[in-house]
Chains A and B, each alone.
Chain A
Amino acid sequence: MAEDSFEPKIIGFLCRWCSYTGADLAGTSRIHYPPNLAAIRVMCSGRVDPTFVVQAFAEGADGVLIAGCHPGDCHYSEGNYKAMRRYPILLKLLEQFGIERERVRLEWVSASEGNKFAEVVTDMTQQLKALGPLNWPARKAAGSQEQRLPLRQVAKGVAAHV
Chain B
Amino acid sequence: MSNEKPKVAFYWCASCGGCEEAVVDLHEKILDVVAAVDIVLWPVALDFKKHHIEALKPKEIAVAFINGAVRLSEHEEWVKLLREKSGLVVAFGACAHLGGIPGLANYTTRDEILANKYHRAVTVDNPQKLLPQTESKVNGYALELPALWNDVRPLDEVIEVDYYLPGCPPPVDLIVAAVTAILKGELPPKGTVIGPLKSLCESCSLNSTKPEKMAIKEFKRVATSTPDPKTCFLAQGYVCMGPATRSGCGERCIKGNMPCRGCFGPTPEARDQGTKFLSSLASMLEAKTEAEAQAVADTIVDPVGTFYRFSLPKSLLRRRRVKT
Interface residues of A, Cβ cutoff 8 Å to B: 49-51, 53-55, 57-58, 71, 81-82, 84-93, 96-99, 134, 136, 139-140, 143-144, 146-147, 149-152, 154-155, 157-162
Contact = CB atoms under 8 A, between A and B. Distances in A.
11 contacts: A53-B275, A54-B275, A54-B317, A85-B282, A89-B278, A89-B297, A91-B297, A92-B300, A96-B303, A136-B321, A158-B119
B304 A160 contact: no
Interface string B107-128: 1011110111011100000000
B278 A87 contact: no
Contacts of B115: 158-159, 161-162
Contact of B151 (A53, A84, A91, A143): A143
B59 interface: no
B239 to A, nearest CB: 11
Nearest to A140: B318
A6 B278 CA distance: 32
Interface stretch (B34-42, B80-88, B285-293): B285-293
B111 A161 contact: yes
B307 interface: yes
B134 interface: yes
Given A88-B297, A96-B304, A51 B275 contact: yes
A23 to B, nearest CB: 22
Contacts of A150: 134, 147
Contacts of B300: 89, 92
Nearest to A162: B119
B316 A82 contact: no
Given A96-B303, A151-B133, A143 B287 contact: no
A97 B272 contact: no
Contact of B319 (A71, A91, A143): A143
A134 B322 CA distance: 11
Contacts of A81: 287-288
B154 to A, nearest CB: 14
A96 B320 contact: yes
B112 A161 contact: yes
Given A51-B271, A146-B150, A161-B112, A89 B282 contact: yes
A90 B112 CA distance: 26
